[in-house]
Structure 1
Amino acid sequence: MRINPSLQQLSAFLRLARAGSFSEAARQSGVSQPALSRMVQQMEEAIGARLFDRTTRSVALTPAGQDLLPIAERLVAEFDRSFSELARFIEGRRGRVAVAALPSIAAVLLPPAIARYRQGHAEVEVAVLDGLSGSVLDAVTEGRADIGLTIRPGPQTVLSYRPLVSDEFGLVCRPGEALAGEDSPLPWSVFEGRPFVAMAPGSSVRQMTDAAFLQAGLAIPPLYGCAFLGTTGHLVASGLGITALPRLTMPLLGRIDLVWRRLERPVMRRQIGVVTQPRRSLSPAAQAFLAVLEEQARMQG
């Protein structure tokens, strides 16, 4: 025997069982007494048992009704709880947001954005996947990240991209270097004849410095090829060379004394943007996070 009452019928049953009268239960339900009576009758027919003993002034549960009562309470409560959870998800107050980002963005832009976001979305889990540009794109493409923060991908990508923040390149050296005292922007030709501490091939920084040297018509041999910005900073701080880095990467170099000076001819700016899957809708929580992130990027310039 398959019993399949509707949620409306279960709710009507509960109101009548609690109120003890058709008039009060109908008032609480916002329906007429005949309409409530029909719902209860339809439910009794669906179940195949009488649920209420009726008198002229009141109703009382039959043994079948008493057995149904905890079942109906559990089902209606679970329905209400589930759709309350769904409403919180749709409002962006529940869920998970995974953000893949370049290490400099993960360290500089994301912390204040996450702090502001959590003020209104404390129950949303935010996961940060930091890595080089290729791994950021892979994370978004494979669905491990909702949002990626990296340089503009190549024309072969299937991902959507929109600019977020511009990160200018500058020369990085020790304070005691003669170049450190220059107030005017320096040309990229200053790297000629000086050891150049380079980032690893494949990193967004290395791609940009290689492009800058090519535009300037320079052949600067890269040294070391560091995978981590902290390593680059310590090599420069140890007097093993100078380097060129975007301004947003400076906090990642650690607590070492280094100087950043603007570079020109050419002026190089790393355009950091948001990458997403064009055919995959962002969750409400991810949409809300993206709005906070974009506002934070405007605030940080």
Structure 2
Amino acid sequence: MRTNLTLQQLEAFEKVASTGSFRAAAQALFVSQPALSRTVRMTEEVLATRLFDRDTRHVELTPAGHELLPIARRILMEFDGAFSELSQFLDGRKGHVTIAAIPSVGVAWLPRAIAALRKKIPDVSFTLAEAPAEPLLDLVERGDADFGITVEPPRDASLRYTHLFDDPFVLLCRRDDPLARLKAAPWSVFAKHPFIASSSQGSIRPIIDAALLRRGVNVAPAFQYPSVAVGGAMVSEGLGITAMPTLALHLIALDRLTMVPLQRPSLHRRIGIVTRAGRSLSPACSAMIQHLVQLPKRSRPPLSRHEQQ
């Protein structure tokens, strides 16, 4: 037989049992004593048994009341615990967030950002995914990632972009290259030295090509690298020079390399958060995005030792 008792009825019963007094229980629950008595009476009617033996001075549990009390307390405790978890979820203090990031952001910035976030939202767990710029957008659009951190994508009605910070480009060359002594280098330098270009599938190549085109610099790449790490290794072996954003330098072995600021024009790639338009984010996800947007205002991505030289 299924018995339908409300949480209000269980709470009223438990409070009377705990205090041993209808008056004290009514005061604790902020209800009138007659209202509390009616609630207990309705509970007894539903169960078809007395829960309390009472007279003008004493309230005692009946055998049925003794049986119900641990059950009522367990149900109330489980409800309070579950409701507390829901409250933490709705407040953005609990939940799980899946983040996709391009490799340079995933190595140079995101772990540091998450470490700072853990101090604010310690009960939010994370899954991190790494992908190049275009596949990353697919992860976000399919819902496989709650949001992505990547270069600013072309305008798309299905995506929303929130800017985080700018990632400046530098000239990357060997330390024994005469170019390493320059305080700054123009983009025309790539027309006079073997240029190692990034893959056309990555996020770096379109930005560099556009910069060279604006300056009217005609460059025929001597080599093309498939990944940032390979590009750095090629420069390290003296095969040429290249241009890279500073975050990408964290993916390279820089022992034999140095970087020179690029000017005329100075160039950067915009890094930000990409979400799918029209998709509701969890409170934890929204809270994390809010914290991430505020982080760059206090600290830019960390510079490597070689960048500071």
Q: Which residue of 2 aligns with 1:262?
A: 261
Structure-to-structure mapping, 1:49-198, within 5 angstroms: 49-184=49-184, 186-198=185-197
Residue pair 2:194, 2:241 contacting (<8 A) in 1 also = yes
Q: Which residue of 2 aligns with 1:203?
A: 202
Q: TM-score, normalised by structure 1?
A: 0.91
Deviates more, 1:187-196 or 1:160-169: 187-196
Q: Which residue of 2 aligns with 1:276?
A: 275
Within 2, Cα distance between the matches of 1:211 and 1:9? 71
Within 2, Cα distance between the matches of 1:45 and 1:98? 51
Within 2, Cα distance between the matches of 1:5 and 1:285? 34
Q: Which residue of 1 aligns with 2:32?
A: 32
Amino acid in structure 2 at the alignment position of 1:87: S
Within 2, Cα distance between the matches of 1:291 and 1:257? 39
Deviates more, 1:147-156 or 1:74-83: 147-156
Amino acid in structure 2 at the alignment position of 1:73: R
Residue pair 2:157, 2:277 contacting (<8 A) in 1 also = no
Residue pair 2:196, 2:222 contacting (<8 A) in 1 also = yes
Within 2, Cα distance between the matches of 1:227 and 1:46? 73
Residue pair 1:110, 1:293 contacting (<8 A) in 2 also = no
Within 2, Cα distance between the matches of 1:168 and 1:230? 18
Tell me by how many angstroms 1:207 deviates. 1.9
Q: Which residue of 1 aligns with 2:12?
A: 12
Tell me by how many angstroms 1:224 deviates. 4.8
Within 1, Cα distance between the matches of 2:112 and 2:136? 20
Residue pair 1:247, 1:260 contacting (<8 A) in 2 also = no
Structure 1 segments unaligned to the other structure (5+ residues): none
Deviations 1:123-156 (A, max 9, x none): 2112222221112212221222222111221234
Are residues 213 and 41 of structure 1, via their aligned partners in 2, closer, same or farther at CA, if it must alter by over 3 Å? same
Amino acid in structure 1 at the alignment position of 2:77: A
Q: Which residue of 1 aligns with 2:45?
A: 45
Within 1, Cα distance between the matches of 2:221 and 2:45? 84
Within 2, Cα distance between the matches of 1:119 and 1:110? 15
Q: TM-score, normalised by structure 2?
A: 0.89
Secondary structure of residue in 2 paired with 1:195: coil
Deviations 1:32-58 (A, max 9, x none): 211110110111222232222222222
Deviates more, 1:44-53 or 1:163-172: 44-53
Within 2, Cα distance between the matches of 1:25 and 1:284? 37
Tell me by how many angstroms 1:255 deviates. 4.2
Matched, 1:248 2:250: no
Give the root-mean-square deviation of aligned CA atoms. Answer: 2.0
Residue pair 1:113, 1:292 contacting (<8 A) in 2 also = no
Q: Which residue of 2 aligns with 1:233?
A: 232
Structure 2 segments unaligned to the other structure (5+ residues): 301-309
Q: Which residue of 2 aligns with 1:212?
A: 211
Amino acid in structure 2 at the alignment position of 1:94: K
Within 2, Cα distance between the matches of 1:156 and 1:121? 31
Aligned pair count? Answer: 300
Q: Which residue of 1 aligns with 2:303?
A: none
Deviations 1:95-128 (A, max 9, x none): 1222211222222222221121111222211222
Within 1, Cα distance between the matches of 2:99 and 2:222? 32
Amino acid in structure 2 at the alignment position of 1:99: I
Within 1, Cα distance between the matches of 2:71 and 2:91? 30
Within 1, Cα distance between the matches of 2:222 and 2:86? 54
**Which consecutive aligned stretches of 4+ in structure 1 deviate over 4 angstroms post-superposition?**
none
Tell me by how many angstroms 1:157 deviates. 4.8
Amino acid in structure 2 at the alignment position of 1:271: R
Secondary structure of residue in 2 paired with 1:162: strand
Amino acid in structure 2 at the alignment position of 1:237: S
Deviates more, 1:138-147 or 1:73-82: 138-147
Amino acid in structure 1 at the alignment position of 2:179: L
Residue pair 1:22, 1:58 contacting (<8 A) in 2 also = no
Tell me by how many angstroms 1:195 deviates. 2.5
Within 1, Cα distance between the matches of 2:141 and 2:281? 14
Amino acid in structure 2 at the alignment position of 1:267: S
